[in-house]
Chain A
Amino acid sequence: MKKIIKSTTLADRLLFLFLTVVSISGIFYAREALPQGNDVIIEINGKPAYSLPLDINRSVSVNGPYGVTEIEILDRKVRIREAHCPNRICVKEGWVSRGIIVCLPNRIVVIVGGGNERHRDIDAITG
């Protein structure tokens, strides 16, 4: 091993360093550049609890102060199917294909399809 290192020139070592830095920085840049709009993120008490693909139909049960909240993913849409919070605003929200469903009493936030590549230059959406 030492022999191999000794046989390298300064240019070789610099090239090695250069490639290492490119690889590491690539991770950070790719995270920014790639679309991330195909996930459903479920946060409980402000902390991410689940990250689920939007294209696989399933149901998830989450426990909260008002009992079990049922979150359903179907045909690339998400809804809170059942919740036992006082006003059930989250259930009334219905199906969401992109955006947020919030259940404040149960401290649950469902984030659907975050980054749409087409709208990366938009700072916010009204409507």
Chain B
Amino acid sequence: MKRLPALFIFILWLFFGFSCTADKPSMYKKSKALMDTFVTITVVAETPEKADKAIESAFSAISRFSNLIDFFSETSEITVINNNAGIRPVKVSSQTLDLIEKAIEAAEKSHGAFDPTIGPVIQLWDFHKGIKPPDNEIRRKLPLVDYRNIIVDRNASTAFLVKKGMMIDLGGIAKGYAADLASEELRQNGISSGLVAIAGDIRAFGTKPDGMPWKIGVKNPRQTNEKDEIIARLSLTDSAVSTSGDYERYFMQDNKRYHHLLNPKTGYPENNFRSVSIITGKGVHTDSYATAVFILGPEKGMHFIEQSGIDALIIDNSGRIITTQGIKGKVQLEENN
């Protein structure tokens, strides 16, 4: 009978011991509402304490960054820049300046297919109420859309919008940048494998505890029920993925789909594809390039992909899935699609 407690502990160990062995890396996941969306961070760590500290630190980094660049906040640095358009340059933090520069780079590389100054035109569209703005209104605002009218002075740490009424909206690049930022923060906290998902902008590094790559589902742009939500699965390690699609914010009018991916040169949506997923090293690139390729269309878009040395999974208007060579073997298509 004296051995009974020992036996009891042994049985307990049998049931719980395998999953709770000290110092064996496990996955820990936590979510938080940030940047007007849901951010989920998964890390591989030896202890829950280490995981929690690293994840909270990454959430704080995203939150601090979000406060700087929030288009809708009255106090963000981006709002101050927009309020001073055509008036004076505004001194901003190095992080805001860095992101603006990255946005200009993406705009230059895509010849304006991605343009962070699209704000005044985007504001005309109400995708929730399904209101298409009058053509003359769009024409009136278009001259305000031109990334070449953003003046960045690195030495003075200022940004200036040349024309009054111009607006920078970094919504098309900020989430990818934030995913990079959070990944770096996790690494600095001793995490060597993790996954940061800010809505559909995802940055992965390292592998899962079993050495397998992270599995990312690609959303089906024409989902009809719960079962066909995913159209493909991607295996990712040390790279990022972002998707731009015509199904996120849209309305139908006269049998035509009006969605939020507007061509900065026309002010109207481009119906080149159903969705474009870009895969490359950093989130700041996947986020902005996904929009750029969507706007550029099949020919120019594929050229952009080749020139940039990035990978893509594209679903065209007929539902055909096109993948680049670099991700062959890393894509698994769902059976029911």
Contact = CB atoms under 8 A, between A and B. Distances in A.
Contact of B230 (A18, A104, A119): A119
Prevailing SS type, chain B contact patch: strand
Contact of A102 (B36, B40, B216, B226): B36
A58 interface: no
Contacts of B42: 123-124
Contacts of A93: 128
Interface in A68-127: 86-87, 89, 91-94, 97-100, 102, 104, 107, 109, 111, 113, 116, 118-119, 121-127
Contact of A98 (B197, B229, B277): B229
B215 interface: yes
Contacts of B141: none
B226 A125 contact: no
B324 to A, nearest CB: 16
A127 B38 contact: no
A104 B36 contact: yes
Contacts of B7: 14, 17
Prevailing SS type, chain A contact patch: mixed
Chain B: interface size category: 35 or more
A10 interface: yes
B242 interface: yes
A33 interface: no
A34 B128 CA distance: 35
Contact of A122 (B33, B128, B233, B241): B233
A126 B200 contact: yes
A122 B215 contact: yes
Contacts of B227: 118
A102 B233 CA distance: 26
A127 B128 contact: no
Contacts of B219: 125-127
Contacts of A89: 36, 72
B229 A18 contact: no
Nearest to A43: B33
A68 B241 CA distance: 37
Given A122-B215, A125-B216, A127-B243, A10 B38 contact: no
18 contacts: A10-B4, A25-B15, A43-B33, A86-B72, A100-B37, A109-B33, A118-B230, A119-B230, A121-B215, A122-B215, A122-B216, A123-B195, A123-B215, A124-B197, A125-B219, A125-B230, A126-B216, A126-B218
Q: Nearest 10 A-B pairs (CB), nearest first?
A: A127-B219, A92-B128, A100-B38, A124-B197, A127-B243, A122-B217, A125-B217, A126-B200, A25-B15, A126-B243
